[in-house]
Amino acid sequence: MDYKNIIAKCWSDYVSKTPSAEAIHQLLAERGESIVNDHIAFRTFNHPKTGIEVLAKPFLEAGYEESGEYHFEVKKLKAKHYQHPDDHAPKIFISELLLESFSVELNQTVEQIVAPIVTGSLIEFPSIPWTDKSHETYKKLLAESEYAAWTYVFGFCANHFTINVNELKTIASLEDMNELLKSAGFELNTSGGEIKGSPSELLEQSSTLADKQVITFAEGDFKIPSCYYEFAKRYADVDGNLFQGFIAKSADKIFESTNTR
Ligand code: OOG
Ligand code: NI
């Protein structure tokens, strides 16, 4: 499948659970901006049926190439990012929860939910291959890992799109982007400061706090943090090449945009 088809599907699913994304586009459209996405991100479990390499398959088939690897010791996550030769293609960031670092109970939950997935099958985007969700289970996962609980509820959907601030014509800095968002009433993720990273690290990032979506569990309906919007400004290295990677220390804080508050 062409990467544009996968991303278009992910976008329509993402806006359906992230009304803020549509509102932010509107805010920028009113200023005459057209939006270029820097990257989109997915989460998963490092189970043989669902690990990073499994999720990456459709992207590799669509021409993406593996470009970077990142480790998050405290959150017990690993991630990789993928780039496409077409400069207009958003980068793909895929992370996975390191199951061996978690309880037997968490591992049993993951075994149960991935049971319907056929080993070696392609993961479709967006999708959630398991259906029944228990709020009791959600709370237990939450006690061990915000990431595990989020992935249990939302599955393999884009958890954020990222506006490439370099491509905006009326907004020169990430500070200005953030001021515009705040004055329009959007709440930003302040973990690690509103802006993560710096020009000397060649990447500055900020993000909204995730919208909330009503999710139907076996026990009833609950509002759960869904997806968020990120903003990235990239800087050139000494050779004049725009940095294309990610910064683990910053990403660590960006993950918290979906935390339950
Ligand atoms: C990914 C968080 C990291 C970035 O740009 O550093 C990230 C996630 O929330 O799944 O997107
Ligand atoms: Ni991101």
The pLDDT score that the predictor gives to residue 23 is 98
| Residue 165 pLDDT greater than 90, yes or no | yes
Is the ipTM higher than 0.90? The answer is yes
The pLDDT score that the predictor gives to residue 258 is 98
pTM to 2 decimals?
Answer: 0.98
Average pLDDT over residues 187-213: 98
Tens digit of each residue's pLDDT (9 = 90 or more) over 224-260: 999 999 999 999 999 999 999 999 999 999 999 999 9
Q: From 67, 93, 153, 252, give the residue whose CB has the most ligand 1 atoms within 8 Å, as the site to mutate.
A: 93
Structural domain that includes position 181: 3-258
Domain count, the chain: 1
Task: Report the alpha-carbon distance of residue 216 to residue 211 in Å, rounded.
Answer: 16
For position 135, which CATH number holds? 3.10.180.50
| Residue 261 pLDDT greater than 90, yes or no | no
The pLDDT score that the predictor gives to residue 222 is 98
Ligand 1 atom closest to the Cα of residue 258 is 9
The pLDDT score that the predictor gives to residue 95 is 99
State the DSSP string of 167-232: G-SS--SHHHHHHHHHHTTPPBP-TT-SSBS-GGGTEEEEEBPPPEEEEEETTEEEEEE--EEEEE
The pLDDT score that the predictor gives to residue 1 is 83
Tens digit of each residue's pLDDT (9 = 90 or more) over 33-78: 999 999 999 999 999 999 999 999 999 999 999 999 999 999 999 9
The pLDDT score that the predictor gives to residue 255 is 98
- Interval between CA 136 and ligand 1 midpoint (Å): 27
Task: Report the alpha-carbon distance of residue 22 to residue 18 in Å, rounded.
Answer: 8
Ligand 1 within 6 A of CB of 42: no
